Structure 1
Amino acid sequence: MKFFDKVRFKMWMQEKDNKSANTASNYAYAIDKISAHYSKETGQLINFYKTEDFEFIKGVARDYSVDGKFSSFGYENHGASRNAIATFAEFAMAISSGQYEAEKENVFPLPRVTNKLTNENKFPLNTILYGSPGTGKTYETIRKAIEIIDAPFLDFNPKRDELKNHFDHFLADGKIAFTTFHQSFSYEDFIEGIRANAVNGLIEYKVEDGVFKKIATDASLQTKSNFDEVYDALCNEIGESGLVLKTLTHSRPFDVKISNMGNLSVIPQTGNGNAMSITKENLRKFLFEDKGIEWIIYAKSIKNYIESKYSFRKSEEKSNYVLIIDEINRGNIANIFGELITLIEPSKRAGAPEALSVTLPYSKEQFSVPDNLYIIGTMNTADRSLALMDTALRRRFHFIEMMPQPELLAGIDVEGVNIERLLTRMNARITALYDREHTLGHAFFMPLRDEPTLMKLREVFERQILPLLQEYFFEDWNKIRLVVGKDLVIEEAVDTDLFDDLVDGMVNPKTYRLNLTALDRAETYIRIYAKGNA
């Protein structure tokens, strides 16, 4: 049996095909999308990670090539889909031919979960996910935040609840912060401001950090070592009371003193008593780089002592931090970000060649934005047009469009109602009557995957779809009727005897009413997408 699973595919790409971790992850995800597309187009349910037939995979790769019958889909995302399936075919050939021992688990150990930052992470530092309601923006922020902080976790194909639990862990740990912008959200909430607090019956004014400054500070502080503070404390201890340590191997005592140059002098209590110098910089080099230095047997004892007594810590390997800003377009960007709008640019982050810092107005502290803090915003295009976004924000963020994906609903059947076709038809009508930014997202219908009942479908329409359409079209019932069909919105003529006289401008007066009882019939939904019945 051949194993063409996702974990092995990603590891093969990195080990044998020299792909970056990010590219490998994208290609592996693209294979899932190709599986769904191929299944839909051919009617043959396929999961390429469960396939054992290498020749079949080669044929599929040809179908998605430049001249293949699915070339248009293969060209999506600048050819990423086509490249992904071609690479997957190479991977399958390597396993099938025995060039790569994929069947041995020790060749492909499961990735170790870590939250350390690697140089292969190439995510944009500032990203905004935008799209119409129900397109999965919130779900994607959770997945993307975990991918930024702990990418190997996704290799285990976690379920939704497992993904959320992992997200909540990082949220509690402070590596992820979440906030929502609104009309009253201010600089003081986001960066820092003066707060009034009652202390023993008296009003006390204190500068408090906002959500952005808190997580930026946490992301910065983790990279600092306390070596200088520990070394100063050690020197003070030696100057006041002297220090005697023992070698770790043979427990031979030696005195530690401070030289005139501020370095450590080591004097063994046995032997000739000659002093041996360990400079501050050599000790730093030994502690940080773990390299051998002169008089290393004494340096090891000193290291052991300061780690136990002074809690010495090295500069930690950077961990990524993520700030999620929901509804980022609803706040006043100029007021909220203030002077920091420039500092979030990648080239202005701390450590960059053009790094900038500012003096904050309340605390008077110097502040810069670390390069391991990622900002992910979400934006509902139905709430506010992308064209109205603050120009300063648009220039500094990488925008990712998230549109409805009806294909994710493939295979969901509710008493004969094809949910994928239903959403596709309604969105086509909304686009024609309004625009693509006010379409309906697939997430509204995802609960039907676990509960494919007419009662659940009615609930989706009654509580989410119909109210949203009323908001979109400002209760223009004629257009709503065009979207959902004649069964749901019934047109009625106004009683001509209602008025004594003709009303100006009222010609053939009509009124509309919702027929909610129609939601209980499968035919109502089928008529929406069945040709000639809408």
Structure 2
Amino acid sequence: MLAVHLGESEKLSMGALQKATLAKMPAGMGILEYGYKVWEDWSHKNLVIWKLLHSDSSMTADELRLYRDENLAVLVRAGTDDQIEAFSNTPNGTLFFLCHGDYPVRIGQFTSGASPRTNEKEGWQRRYRVFKEAVKTELYTKNSKKWMPGAQSTFKQVGAGDLAFFEGNLLKPYFETDLAELAVWADEFNKSECEEATPTPADNGAEINKNSKPTALGFNRIYYGPPGTGKTYTLMRLLESDYGADVVSAPADGIALVDAGPAADATVQRYSIVTFHQSYGYEEFVEGLRPVLNGDGETDDVAYEIRAGVFKELCHKARQAPDLRFAMVIDEINRGNISKIFGELITLIEPDKRDPLKGNAPPLELALAYSGEKFSVPANVDIIGTMNTADRSLALLDTALRRRFEFVPLLPDVRAVKDAGELNDPPLAGLIVKTSAGDIDVRQMLMRINERIEVLYDRDHCIGHAYFTLLKKEQNEDKHFDMLAGIFRNRIMPLLEEYFFEDWRKIRLVLGDNQKNDVNARFIAESDALQDLSSLFGSDHGLESYTTKRRYTVQPAAFANPQAYIGIYKPLA
């Protein structure tokens, strides 16, 4: 690198190169600034970076999402022979920028060799670590060379003569980084982070498939958001696509099927689901004592034995099938006492403390509280949690938990159109409830309600789009309005009462009742204080209206009035 900066063609010692480089440092420039300039000069001439295309013409939307979530670089048969050879032979530590069609997505660095694809599509795959996500989501249009996003190439190196153009037109605007920063990052690559192509046999007696692909590090993730934002739906889709389905004719011990391998007509359930609550503890999750009767009679003695909890059992399954990924799903993870439930596992679940299942000793093992057994968490076990922010704020979570999990927000989806690069369609786009009194735009109505809730309460208590998705599934449009009225009467109104502790003035503001001139379109009727006092106490009551509380009543007839819903987002005359 120093020789390139100096323009030296002769072989000089490192000491001589360093002295010559320092001698060229401009006056008044700091050593750190000069060091960065040296990196910059080298990177503009020598940095190696490739373009990798994941195309929606050869991959489904679910596959694109899966490959992105799992940090998998995939090359299908669409690539030419020279591109396939380059993808397979490019060394670990090589940088590339990933594109979904014409959209740059992220910059990554290979951490494993290429291995054949295991599904029905022929091709190759490699693991990588992520350096930068794209900060600009616009279409890239300057596709004049084969390494550019929209060009007809799957895996192509950015030419040395194009590095400056690449930096100015793609790297800086789309990723807010430059060649020098990439060069530093590439130089810091640690070969120990790479995955071996073939794991060695285990020393502890566990069977490891020598032909298996490398085991990627497990992730710890929590999906969080207000009620009705699709947390369960997202989780079920993830389990279905990544972790298989329920076992057909499962054996009694729940593990034999994994040990023997599934039959042709069976699939292994590779996940377990639990719900945390205040009474849930270490004994149910990891291991604990269970009472057993010694004998068959009612008066026999009670003994206790140590039994594995749901997480320990899942880890045992995962060790028997290192080629597969397993998931521990924890619903309502914020409702449990994390320190009490996880115990020593709070350390073991960290990705760099996991057992990579390569036959070597795990990076860290700890003795379990009851059995004293040495235990580590396999790398092929993912921990996925969900939490409802309306129950408990994200800020109140256990600090140790926050540091060990990545958090994915799922907020109310009120998009009107599908943005570029997004996988899911807008759930409420085009959802119109037609009535004789006018059309009700459900998406606009929910958007306005949530805007008001954010101002009067907070974002954690917004109302999710899932409350209204049943309307879209109902084919008979004549039933839509009655369904909407039922949703408001039985679900939305009780939720608002709970959020605002029956502060009816704020509920009226959320529903726009204060802006509706037609009293019949108001969900909440507000009484006139002075008239109310007179009817209650007579004319000579001596009370002032401003010292007494107003009375509010829910108007059942408003739920059957289309104008009540239209008036939420469109003030009525």
TM-score greater than 0.5 by the shorter chain: yes
C-alpha contact (below 8 Å) 1:492/1:512 kept by paired residues: yes
Give how far 1:434 is off.
0.6
Indicate whether 1:528 and 2:568 are aligned.
yes
The residue identity in structure 1 corresponding to 2:230 is G
1:516: Cα distance to partner? 2.4
- 2:212 equivalent to 1:185: no
In 2, Cα distance between equivalents of 1:171 and 1:211: 22
Change (3 A) 1:471 1:6: farther
* 1:410 and 2:429 matched: yes
Equivalence map 1:246-261=2 (5 Å): none
In the alignment, structure 1 residue 482 sits paired with structure 2 residue 482: no
Cα separation, 1, equivalents of 2:549 and 2:276: 44
CA contact (8 A) 2:140 2:150 kept: no
Per the TM alignment, residue 221 of structure 1 is displaced from its structure 2 partner at its CA by: 2.7
In 2, the alpha carbon distance for the partners of 1:356 and 1:25 equals 34
Do the aligned partners of residues 529 and 181 (structure 1) sit closer, same or farther apart at CA in structure 2, a change above 3 Å counting?
same
How do 1:340-351 and structure 2 match up within 5 A? 340-351=345-356
Show CA shifts across 1:435-458 (max 9, x none).
Answer: 111111111111111225101111
Q: Matched residues in 1 for 2:224 and 2:564: separation?
A: 32
- 2:396 and 2:410 map into 1 onto residues whose CA distance is 18
Of the three residues 332, 336, 340, the one matched with 1:335 is 340
3-state SS of paired residue (1:475): coil
**Letter of the structure 2 residue corresponding to residue 385 of structure 1:** S
Q: Are 1:134 and 1:444, in contact at CA under 8 Å, matched by a contact in 2? A: yes
Deviation of the 1:137 alpha carbon:
0.6
**Structure 1 residues 171 and 418, CA gap change in structure 2 (3 angstroms):** farther
In the alignment, the residues of structure 1 paired with residue 464 and residue 341 of structure 2 have an alpha-carbon distance, to the nearest angstrom, of: 30
Q: How far off its partner does 1:412 sit?
A: 0.6
Asked whether the 8 Å contact 2:471–2:484 carries over to 1, the reply is yes
Distance 1:478 1:326 in 2: 34
Aligned pairs (5 A) from 1:252-401: 318-351=323-356, 355-401=363-409
Q: Which amino acid is 2:409 matched to?
A: E
Deviation at 1:332, TM superposition (A): 0.3
Of 129, 132, 136, which residue of structure 1 is paired with 2:230? 136
Separation in 1, partners of 2:407, 2:238 = 14
Compared with structure 1, are the counterparts of its residues 390 and 222 closer, same or farther at alpha carbon in structure 2 (3 Å cutoff)?
Answer: same
Q: Distance in 1 between matches of 2:364 and 2:305?
A: 27
Residues of 1 paired with 2:142 and 2:523: CA distance?
A: 47
Q: 1:383 to 1:8 in 2, by over 3 A?
A: closer
The alignment-based identity, stated in percent, is: 39
1:217 to partner: Cα distance: 1.2
The alpha-carbon deviation at position 350 of structure 1 amounts to 1.1
What SS does structure 2 have at the residue aligned with 1:406? coil
Instruction: Give the secondary structure class of the aligned counterpart of 2:563.
Output: helix
The aligned residue for residue 533 of structure 2 is 496
Alignment CA distance shift 1:502-1:142 (3 Å): farther
1:29 to partner: Cα distance: 13
Q: 1:14 aligns with which of 66, 75, 82?
A: 75
- Structure 2 residue aligned with 1:159: none
SS in 2 for 1:528: helix
**Equivalence for 2:176:** none
User: Aligned partners of 1:371 and 1:419: how far apart in 2?
Assistant: 44
Counterpart of 1:421 in 2: which secondary structure? helix
Question: 8 Å contact 1:175–1:322 — kept in the other structure?
Answer: yes
- Name the CA distance, whole Å, in 2 between partners of 1:373 and 1:134: 27
> Partner letter of residue 343 of structure 2?
G
Report if the CA contact (8 A) 2:226-2:390 is conserved: yes
Tell me the CA shift for residue 343 of structure 1.
Answer: 0.3
Find the counterpart in structure 1 of residue 442 from structure 2: 419
Give the match for residue 216 of structure 1: 315
| C-alpha distance in structure 2 between counterparts of 1:125 and 1:331, whole Å | 20
Partner of 2:33: none
Deviation (angstroms), 1:78 = 3.8
Query: 1:455-486 deviations in whole A, cap 9, x for unaligned?
Result: 11112111221111111101111111111132
What TM-score do you get using the length of structure 2 for normalisation? 0.55
1:81 aligns with 2:120: no
Identify the residue that residue 513 of structure 1 maps to in structure 2: 553
Conserved? CA contact 1:121–1:148, under 8 Å: no
Tell me if the contact between 2:103 and 2:137 (Cα under 8 Å) persists in the aligned partners: yes
8 A contact 2:512–2:569 mirrored in 1: no
Q: Deviations over 1:401-433 (max 9, x none)?
A: 111111221111101111110111000000010
State whether residues 414 and 454 of structure 1, in contact with CA within 8 Å, keep that contact through their aligned partners in structure 2: yes
Q: Which residue matches 2:239? A: 145
In the alignment, which residue of structure 2 is the partner of 1:94? 152
Structure 2 unmatched runs, 5+: 1-54, 68-72, 105-131, 154-210, 246-263, 416-425, 514-521
Which residue is equivalent to 2:485? Answer: 458
TM-fit CA distance, 1:349: 0.8
Classify the secondary structure of the residue corresponding to 1:440.
coil
2:4 is matched with none
Query: 2 CA distance for matches of 1:447 and 1:357?
Result: 48
Q: Which residue pairs with 1:277 in the alignment?
A: none
Q: Could you tell me how far apart the structure 2 residues matched to 1:483 and 1:443 are?
A: 19
1:523 Cα deviation (Å)?
1.4
* Root-mean-square deviation (Å): 4.0
Going from structure 1 to structure 2, the CA distance change for 1:171 and 1:141 (only over 3 Å counts) comes to farther
**Which residue type is aligned with residue 472 of structure 2?**
R
- Cα distance in structure 1, aligned partners of 2:285 and 2:528: 54
Contact 2:141 2:150 in 1 (8 A): no
- Please state whether the residue corresponding to 1:143 is helix, strand or coil: helix
Query: Could you tell which deviates more after superposition, 502-511 or 377-386?
Result: 502-511
Kept in 2, the 8 Å contact 1:27–1:84? The answer is no
Quick one: higher RCO (CA 8 Å, sep 6+), 1 or 2? Answer: 1
Q: TM-score, normalised by structure 1?
A: 0.58
User: Contact between 1:117 and 1:320, CA under 8 Å: does it hold in 2?
Assistant: no
SS at match of 2:314: helix
* Distance in 2 separating the partners of 1:484 and 1:6: 47
What is the alpha-carbon distance in structure 1 between the residues aligned to residue 559 and residue 375 of structure 2?
57
Alpha-carbon distance in 2 for matches of 1:466, 1:333: 33
Please tell me the residue identity of whatever aligns with 1:131: G
Q: Does 1:173 align with 2:268?
A: yes
Is contact 2:244-2:267 (8 Å) kept? no
Give the Å deviation of 1:86: 8.9
**C-alpha distance in 2 between matches for 1:410 and 1:476:** 32
Which SS does the other structure have where 1:342 is aligned? helix
Tell me the distance in 1 between the aligned counterparts of 2:567 and 2:490.
20
Residues in 1 aligned to 2:389 and 2:429: alpha-carbon distance in whole angstroms: 25
Structure 2 residue identity aligned to 1:448: L
**CA distance in structure 2 between the aligned counterparts of 1:383 and 1:170, rounded to whole angstroms:** 42
Distance 1:508 1:445 in 2: 38
* 1:463-474 paired onto structure 2 within 5 Å: 463-474=490-501
Deviation at 1:25, TM superposition (A): 11
